[in-house]
Structure 1
Amino acid sequence: MDVSLLTWALTVLGLCALIGVDFLIGRKPHDVSIKEAGIWTVVWIALAALFGIGLLVFGESQSSGEFFAGFITEKSLSVDNLFVFVLIMAKFSVPSHLQQRVLLVGVLIALVLRAVFIAAGAAIIGSFSWVFYIFGAFLIYTAWKLIQEARAGEEEEEIEDNRLLKSVQKRFGVADRYHGTKLFIRNNGKRVLTPLMVVMLAIGTTDVLFALDSIPAIFGLTQDPYIVFTANAFALMGLRQLYFLIGGLLRKLVHLSYGLSVILGFIGVKLVLHALHENGVHVPEISISFSLAVICGVLIVTTITSLIASKKQAEREAAEGVENKDSKDSKDGQGKADIDA
């Protein structure tokens, strides 16, 4: 899609305005209710849908389809990010009323860093078509690695291996407690970071690790930088509300990593086929409509199987709890009988 500089400028200004509204609404630290999170999650998804429809009306059906496929893919990958965000919040013992501020600033950092990644990716793809082979192979490898990590339970790796975060902590020092919404304080005459600033940096920079997967994935669905950027922006900007809405549900999505691995593997194969086609090899290419159907289908199946598995696990734990209680009561009763005797 041919996008003018004016369209780019208006889009960025529009997104900045939406971010500004979001910031003003959440400027006062508070505990986010399920109702508030639900309303704003619907609002962000509706805005993304309106943008996609706008592309269909004023642009091309191909561009609209690519946006929706990219948005759904990025949104589903962002949900996986929430697992790590939960771990980060717990690791730094973030007070509940400050979590929404942490996520807002962390997501803004992630959005800026992703914009840099997208610009670099577009430049590389424009100059070297063979990079599709690398992207495709990387996604297939990532899909396999995601399954291995899901089995091993290595979610905390991303936190522990954040070297940038460690270097910042070492260079500036960190206060021993939270000081409201302050990011820096004076401690014995020295300016140091507050834990709030540290956790914001943790959220934002940890997302870069996920961008290494998601940016090649969306370039596998579209090579249009405008679509890639807007799909990422809409997926990330609703992430804060989604965190509070499905925070308790995350643990029930036990098969999410497997579903995401299938999606990444599928897009990896799509990229390799596209690269072969670009080099004159007669191979079938996967259409955007088929890609969208596969992505949605995998997410639906994954969600259903996750909820079924979680329900069965809860029933097993409840049954084991009853058995243990009965066994304990039986032993206590026998012990009392022995004493009476």
Structure 2
Amino acid sequence: MSSEIIFFGGFILFIVLMLSIDLGLFNKKDHAVSLKEAAVMSAIWVSFAIGFYFLLLAEGHKLHGIESFDQLAVVTKKHLHNIQLNPLDFSGSMQVYRQNLALEFLTGYVIEYALSVDNIFVMVLIFSAFSVEPKYYHRVLFWGIVGAVLMRFLFIFLGATLINQFGWILYLFGAFLVYTGIMMFVNRNQEEKIDPQNHKVVKFASRYFSIYPHYSGNKFFIKKEGKKYVTPLFLVLLIIEFTDLIFAVDSIPAIFAVTKDPYIVFFSNIFAILGLRSMFFLLVNIIHKFHYLKVGLAFLLVFIGIKMLAHGWLKEWGFTTAHSLLVIVTILTTSVVASLIFPKKRLKHGLPEEH
């Protein structure tokens, strides 16, 4: 059995175990998640991600079973790691490789976590539009994340295969991210609305399922007079999954700008997704205060897109993963600080002013 399968299998088992504990131990009963509970869970998931960073720092070479300099050179070339190896110093080269691998994971994690905040804006709108009781938020988000993990697995390893076969796809990804960032900036003040009756997912589900018109507790499916129905809560779950699919189109190419190793892309993506649910409960009541965050995310996507388009030149100029992480953190910090220093003003009628 290859080291990649063992490493990846261990990661999946860990995730399954943590989700099982979460659902079976901490959330046996539906309840509205408190701010304290959300803060604790957020801290736990961030701690796991940081712990994984240190694991890669110490044992990252075991991911691909590297035991010789030749193997190290092959893996470095295959995944386009921007590092310099010394044939006369295998130990030193391994250390450089592990440090770069861990930094790629951390940078990808920060990117995905940041982009997930935009997803929270939409989730708040979805729950509000469908009048979902707060005590059922956790159940919907839990199963939504399970579906997201499966979708991300398919997206990431398919994307890696395409990149290996067709290198020019990186430029396509880069152009798409620049366009997405520009459009996000242009539409930053546009009010988002969700129409429960006319949403495309609701219309699609209506053609294939019998929809019960009322909620039935935390149930996704019910049976009435011998006929099976899906509840509105299941429709909300489908819309959450559809929303994540749309966001994945942005976030996955963005992480490929940092690393071409599909395992690192997957690890960073999944840790961020798992932390998204607790972050939702942490930010749901204050996220409107970060009104410059969309501007920051727009600049972030444009930066990442340009990085993909000019990766050859940037490599020649000595632009490393550490530089990327510094730029990304600076953009995000600036947008958050600006939101706090310059809060959105309100008019006499209580409506926010346009920027």
TM-score (norm 1): 0.86
Offset of residue 282 of structure 1? 8.5
SS of the residue aligned with 2:187?
helix
Offset of residue 190 of structure 1? 2.2
Amino acid paired to 1:85? M
- Provide, for residues 244-263 of structure 1, a one-character-per-residue CA deviation record: whole Å limited to 9, x for no partner: 11111110110111101111
Asked if 1:243 is matched to 2:244, the reply is: no
Which residue in the other structure is 1:330 paired with?
none
TM-aligned CA distance change 1:125 to 1:321, over 3 Å: closer
Identity among equivalent pairs (%): 37
TM-aligned CA distance change 1:51 to 1:180, over 3 Å: same
Which residue in the other structure is 2:186 paired with?
148
Which residue in the other structure is 1:121 paired with?
159
Amino acid paired to 2:229? V
TM-aligned CA distance change 1:206 to 1:71, over 3 Å: same
Which residue in the other structure is 1:44 paired with?
45
Amino acid paired to 1:210? F
Asked if 1:217 is matched to 2:257, the reply is: no
Distance 1:116 1:203 in 2: 18
Which residue in the other structure is 1:286 paired with?
319
Distance 2:169 2:46 in 1: 32
Question: For the Cα contact (< 8 Å) 2:129–2:194, is it kept in 1?
Answer: no
How many residues align structurally? 311
For 1:315-334, list aligned pairs within 5 A: 317=347, 320=348
Which residue in the other structure is 1:66 paired with?
104
Larger Rg: 1
SS of the residue aligned with 2:223?
strand
- Provide, for residues 253-307 of structure 1, a one-character-per-residue CA deviation record: whole Å limited to 9, x for no partner: 1011110111111111111112x46xxx995363100000011111111001112
TM-aligned CA distance change 1:236 to 1:58, over 3 Å: same
TM-aligned CA distance change 1:260 to 1:96, over 3 Å: same
TM-aligned CA distance change 1:161 to 1:109, over 3 Å: farther
RMSD: 2.2
Distance 1:8 1:37 in 2: 28
SS of the residue aligned with 1:151?
coil
Structure 1: state its 5+ residue gaps.
Answer: 323-341
2:216 to 164, 179, 192: 179
- Provide, for residues 288-332 of structure 1, a one-character-per-residue CA deviation record: whole Å limited to 9, x for no partner: 00000011111111001112222x62xx55xx489xxxxxxxxxx
Which residue in the other structure is 1:328 paired with?
none
Which residue in the other structure is 1:14 paired with?
14
Question: For the Cα contact (< 8 Å) 1:71–1:235, is it kept in 2?
Answer: yes
Distance 2:197 2:268 in 1: 29
Distance 2:197 2:215 in 1: 21
Question: For the Cα contact (< 8 Å) 1:136–1:267, is it kept in 2?
Answer: yes
TM-aligned CA distance change 1:162 to 1:112, over 3 Å: farther
Offset of residue 6 of structure 1? 1.0
1:300 to 333, 340, 344: 333
Distance 2:243 2:224 in 1: 27
- Provide, for residues 186-234 of structure 1, a one-character-per-residue CA deviation record: whole Å limited to 9, x for no partner: 2343211011111111111211000000000000011111111111111
SS of the residue aligned with 1:4?
helix
Q: Which structure has greater helix proportion? A: 1
TM-aligned CA distance change 1:155 to 1:143, over 3 Å: farther
Which residue in the other structure is 2:67 paired with?
none
Range moving further from structure 2, 5-14 or 128-137: 5-14
Distance 2:99 2:193 in 1: 38
Range moving further from structure 2, 161-170 or 295-304: 161-170
Runs of 4+ in structure 1 over 4 Å off: 159-162
